[in-house]
Amino acid sequence: MNVGLEHYLTVSAMLFCLGLLGVILRRNVLVIYMSLELMLNAANLALVAFSRFNENLTGQMMVFFIITVAAAEVAVGLALIVALYRKRQSAHVEDLTSLKL
């Protein structure tokens, strides 16, 4: 079987949808965070695939940027989640409603 662009894109779309489902359905902040990372990586996959098939390195360059920014974001995000957990003893979104009227 010859693997083409469509296959990569299909995998990327499936990963993206899984990530989105995770963001929408899961209740644990940490898991939501992981799902977000999954969505970012789905986008990375699509970009790399485009880059490969279009023989253009711009896409890969963008991916490097995304990975870098995501790493910084993970550092900040995880720190926030740890701090939140220490304060509330919980990482569930239902418990984080102090801003609601």
Partner 1 sequence: MEPTLSPAGYAALTILLLPLAAAVVALACPCRDPERTANRSIGAIALGFILSLGLFFFAGDKAIETNFNWLSVGDLKVSFGLLLDPLSKLMLLVVTGVGLMIHIYSRGYLHGDRSYSRYFASLSLFTFSMLGIVLANNLFMMFVFWELVGVSSYLLIGFWFEKNSAADAAKKAFLTNRVGDFGFILGIILTWAALGSVNFTELASAVELGGRLADKAAGFSVLAEPLGKIFQSTNWWLVHPNVLVTLVGLLLFMGAMGKSAQFPLHVWLPDAMEGPTPVSALIHAATMVAAGVFMLCRIFFLLDIPGSHALEFIAWIGGFTALLAALMALQQNDIKRILAYSTLSQLGYMVMAVGLHSPQSAMFHLTTHAAFKALLFLGAGSVILACHHEQNIWKMGGLRDAMPRTWWTFRWGTLALCGVWPFAGFFSKDAILAAALDPAHRNIPLFVLGVFVAGLTTFYMSRLVLVAFCGNARSEEASHAHESPGVMTWPLVVLAVPTLLAGAVGIDAYLAKALPSEHAPHNEGFLNNLFAPFNHNILAAGFGLLAVVAGYKLARALYTNAGRDPLPDKLGVLAKMARDRFYFDELYEWFISVTQETLAKVADWFDRWIIAGLLVRGTHGTTELFGRALRLVQTGSLQTYAFLFAAGVVLVLAWQLLLQSPAH
Contact 19, 39 (CB under 8 A): yes
Among 11, 23, 30, 43, binds partner 1 (CB under 8 A): 23
| Distance (Å, whole) CA 14 – CA 20 | 10
Q: Which two tokens stand for residue 43?
A: 């986008």
Q: How far is the CB of 88 from partner 1 (least distance, A)?
A: 16
Q: How many positions of this chain bind partner 1 (CB under 8 A)?
A: 10
Residue 13 in the binding site for partner 1 (CB under 8 A): no
Residue entry with tokens 């789905």: 42
Among 1, 3, 24, 71, binds partner 1 (CB under 8 A): 24
Contacts of 35 (CB under 8 A, 6+ apart): 18, 19, 20, 21, 22, 23, 26
Residue 97 in the binding site for partner 1 (CB under 8 A): yes
Residue 66 in the binding site for partner 1 (CB under 8 A): no
Q: How far is the CB of 75 from partner 1 (least distance, A)?
A: 21
